[in-house]
Amino acid sequence: MSDKPRKFKGGVHPNDSKALSAAKAVQDAPLLDSYNVIVHQNIGAPPEVIVKKGDTVKKGDLLAKASGFVSVPLHAPTSGTVSALEKCPGPTCISVPSITITADGEDAWGDCMEPISDWQNADPAALKQRVADAGIVGMGGAGFPSHVKLSPNKPIDTLILNGAECEPYLTADHRLMLEEAEKVVLGAAILARILGLNGATIGVENNKPDAIEELNKIAGKYNVKVQGLRVNYPQGAEKQLIYALTGREVPIGGLPMDAGCVVQNVASAAAVTDAVINGRPLIERITTVTGEPLVNPGNWRFRLGTPISKALELAGGIKTQPAKLLLGGPMMGFAQNSLDVTVMKNTSGILLIPVETASQYTSEPCIRCGRCVEVCPMDILPATISQAVENERFDWSAQLNVMACIECGSCSYVCPSHRPLNQHFKRAKAEIAAARRKEQKK
Ligand code: SF4
Ligand code: SF4
């Protein structure tokens, strides 16, 4: 591991707008009368619901059990009664199954899981099972089950914690590292034990010097190294992070394990500490609620199932009319059409974009300026792929490696013709995946 991080190719420097919430300490959101918990909160198979209407539950009780290896369980955010099993607005603007818990106000924990305080001597397999049982996923936005990444089928020599938080506006990971540094570092050490490694590295963008300082105060105790990173979006993308810290390139179509690495988000690592040391499943997370239209942007610890409308209320409501509501950051987040969608395990941000910065442009023909090629961190050809998609030549876009696109949005950001490049690539990937599924069925 180099002491000087390498620069990955490309990337962009959007105005980060982090000052709106970076200095705001995490506040615990008050207990609500009810929570609407979306069932499918992980990449992979949705968990299988095991409660029915009328059941009483305690905080941390199982609501749904994992339904396969790439799946995680879901737990109750508070104690109360299962008052409905219905559909509610989901993060992709499609209705999704959810479980409504009407709170009893006691917020009493159930039996949950036994703490494993002597984690240094615990069986790594038992620790990994605990990560799975606690329902932990990639909390930076990916939602990929954490225990799956801890079961690589290739040799691993490096564990990296992703504390880059390179998306503009988001400061939830920053506040977590600053306020709960020990939890993050201890989580790194537990993850390292699971992988049979003697340490880990936490990568943090250099625009969070206070978080780097806090982490460094305790990192040595757990043989964890903290590495400052160049501020450049998308520094927190797995492949770019691995390259910056190790100089290794993940092959196209490959995974971090192909470069001997496992990458976990810092909030996921903190959730591992909660699961192992405190015996607590993942029922809450820190989320940034921000944007210029808000009266009081900040960071809150929300229970899963908290409606976005409540989050905006806590942030003081709006002072100017927003143009857009996003879940996540402005580069990779998803636009929402309902305030009833609720906080999930991977909700890193709730963002209101002001009218001035969300102007609607008309897409113009490509002028072949080459800017998109210059900024693409994956070294593919956005302009040509976009042309292939416009011509519905998805086979051609596949040959041009559209599947390697990490959907970072850097190309769309710099395109002077305002071409919907990222949307083209999402469409191409979906079409290619559908064609492959069809082929497999033959
Ligand atoms: S083509 Fe994909 S990876 Fe390259 S800049 Fe555009 S969105 Fe990012
Ligand atoms: S940045 Fe836009 S206009 Fe320039 S080459 Fe790429 S797609 Fe064409």
Q: Which of 165, 161, 160, 134 is nearest to 147 (CA)?
A: 134
Q: Which of 64, 58, 96, 91 is nearest to 77 (CA)?
A: 58
Over residues 69-74, mean pLDDT: 95
pLDDT attached to residue 252? 83
Q: Does ligand 2 come within 6 angstroms of the Cβ of 419?
A: yes
Give the number of the ligand closest to the Cα of residue 240: 1
Amino acid at 256: P
Centre of ligand 1 from the C-alpha of residue 375, in Å: 8
Question: Cα 309 to chain center, whole Å?
Answer: 21
Confirm if 180 and 172 have CB atoms less than 8 A apart: no
| 92-103 burial: b if 16+ Cβ within 10 Å, else e | eeeebbbbbbeb
Q: Which atom of ligand 2 is nearest to the CA of 369?
A: 4
- pLDDT per position as a tens digit, 293-313: 999 999 999 999 999 999 999
Q: What angle do CA 230, 232, 237 make, to 5 degrees?
A: 100
Q: Which of 54, 35, 53, 58 is nearest to 107 (CA)?
A: 58
Q: pTM, whole model, 2 decimals?
A: 0.94
Sign of the dihedral through C-alpha 291, 297, 298, 302: negative
Separation CA 155–CA 196 (nearest Å)? 10
Q: How confident is the model at residue 1 (pLDDT cuts 50, 70, 90)?
A: low
Q: How confident is the model at residue 346 (pLDDT cuts 50, 70, 90)?
A: very high
Centre of ligand 1 from the C-alpha of residue 412, in Å: 8
Confirm if 291 and 297 have CB atoms less than 8 A apart: yes
DSSP 103: E
Task: Please report, for the chain, the start and end positions of each structural domain, with discontinuous segments joined by +.
Answer: 119-278, 371-441
Centre of ligand 1 from the C-alpha of residue 251, in Å: 16
pLDDT attached to residue 278? 96
Q: How confident is the model at residue 362 (pLDDT cuts 50, 70, 90)?
A: confident
Average pLDDT value for the chain = 94
343 Cβ contact partners less than 8 Å away, ≥ 6 residues apart: 285, 287, 302, 303, 304, 305, 306, 307, 308, 311, 350
Q: What is the CATH number of domain 119-278?
A: 3.40.50.11540
Among 405, 419, 423, residue to substitute to test ligand 2 (most atoms within 8 Å of Cβ): 419
Q: Which of 134, 141, 138 is nearest to 66 (CA)?
A: 134
Three-state secondary-structure class, residue 210 = helix
Binding positions for [4Fe-4S] cluster are 366, 369, 372, 376, 405, 408, 411, 415
Confirm if 273 and 190 have CB atoms less than 8 A apart: yes
Q: Does ligand 1 come within 6 angstroms of the Cβ of 389?
A: no
Separation CA 386–CA 412 (nearest Å)? 11
pLDDT attached to residue 2? 55
- pLDDT per position as a tens digit, 126-158: 999 999 999 999 999 889 999 999 999 999 999
pLDDT at 3 over 80: no
Q: Does ligand 2 come within 6 angstroms of the Cβ of 417?
A: yes
Q: Does ligand 1 come within 6 angstroms of the Cβ of 400?
A: no
Question: Which H or E element spans position 312?
Answer: helix 308-314
pLDDT attached to residue 101? 98
- pLDDT per position as a tens digit, 248-305: 999 888 899 999 999 999 999 999 999 999 999 999 999 999 999 999 999 999 999 9
DSSP 32: P
User: Residue with the nearest Cα to atom 2 of ligand 1?
Assistant: 405
pLDDT at 9 over 90: no
